[in-house]
Amino acid sequence: MSAPLPQKLDPWRAVHLGAAFAGSATLAQLPRLAAAVAGADGPAQYALRFERDEARQAVALGQVSMAVRLICQRCLKDVVYRLEAPIALALVRATTGADGLGLVQTPEVADHLDTLPLGEEPINPLDLIEDELLLALPLVPMHGVGECQAALSSGLTENAPATEAAARVNPFAVLATLKSKG
Ligand SMILES: [Zn+2]
């Protein structure tokens, strides 16, 4: 059995222990995500484990999924997206340099890992979960074909004013051509 994530976690100790966590987080526990979505259909479900991989690199591996409500950019109604995000982070030490600026040691990490610079301070591990959900959000949320409540034609008109303007101009251009011929 894996325990839910604690509010504070020493990631280096978690790696040392090979700690594994699983649980759920409500939208209220993920305020940055809450600001980016219209709502959620249930909590986020996550699994996250800390360990050293074959290359002795400290890693945090897992996955998170959550059904969120976004605003369809075509009909402006809610659209439910099921976010599914793998978590594959290489934990690297960020140290403070003599000039007070943060320095990050950048070891070679495998291609499938994203680098996560960490100091010696405990972290809120839900931040990692929230980051992955934010990255998984679609840039332009829209209903699938046939599910959108906006007629395709009106949707195109709203989203493509340049095309509409061009369509308005064309008939006059045709008239002008006819006039010059007559
Ligand atoms: Zn729609």
Ligand 1 centre to CA of 67 (Å) is: 17
Ligand 1 centre to CA of 50 (Å) is: 40
Residue 53 lies inside a defined structural domain of this protein: yes
Could you tell me if 108 and 155 lie in one domain? no
Could you tell me if 25 and 36 lie in one domain? yes
Could you tell me if 96 and 160 lie in one domain? no
Residue 1 lies inside a defined structural domain of this protein: no
Residue 171 lies in domain: 151-182
Could you tell me if 101 and 166 lie in one domain? no
Q: How far apart are alpha carbons 55 and 154 in whole angstroms?
A: 55
Q: How many helices (H) and strands (E) does the chain have?
A: 5, 7
Ligand 1 centre to CA of 92 (Å) is: 42
Output the pLDDT for position 145. 85
Could you tell me if 130 and 95 lie in one domain? yes
Ligand 1 centre to CA of 102 (Å) is: 44
Q: Which residues pair with 45 in a beta bridge?
A: 24, 65
Output the pLDDT for position 50. 98
Output the pLDDT for position 93. 86
Smallest Cα–Cα separation from 26: which of 10, 8, 5, 11? 5
Could you tell me if 28 and 46 lie in one domain? yes
At residue 24, the 3 state secondary structure works out as strand
Ligand 1 centre to CA of 17 (Å) is: 47
pLDDT in tens, the chain (182 residues): 689 999 999 999 999 999 999 999 999 999 999 999 999 999 999 999 999 999 999 999 999 999 999 999 999 999 999 999 999 999 998 876 666 666 666 667 788 899 998 988 999 999 999 999 999 999 999 999 888 988 554 545 444 444 444 444 444 454 555 555 54
Residue 4 lies inside a defined structural domain of this protein: no
Ligand 1 centre to CA of 13 (Å) is: 46
Ligand 1 centre to CA of 81 (Å) is: 12
Output the pLDDT for position 152. 54
Ligand 1 centre to CA of 146 (Å) is: 9
Could you tell me if 156 and 91 lie in one domain? no
Output the pLDDT for position 166. 43
Ligand 1 centre to CA of 84 (Å) is: 21
Ligand 1 centre to CA of 117 (Å) is: 39
Ligand 1 centre to CA of 132 (Å) is: 25
Output the pLDDT for position 31. 97
Q: How many domains is the chain partitioned into structurally?
A: 2
Could you tell me if 129 and 170 lie in one domain? no
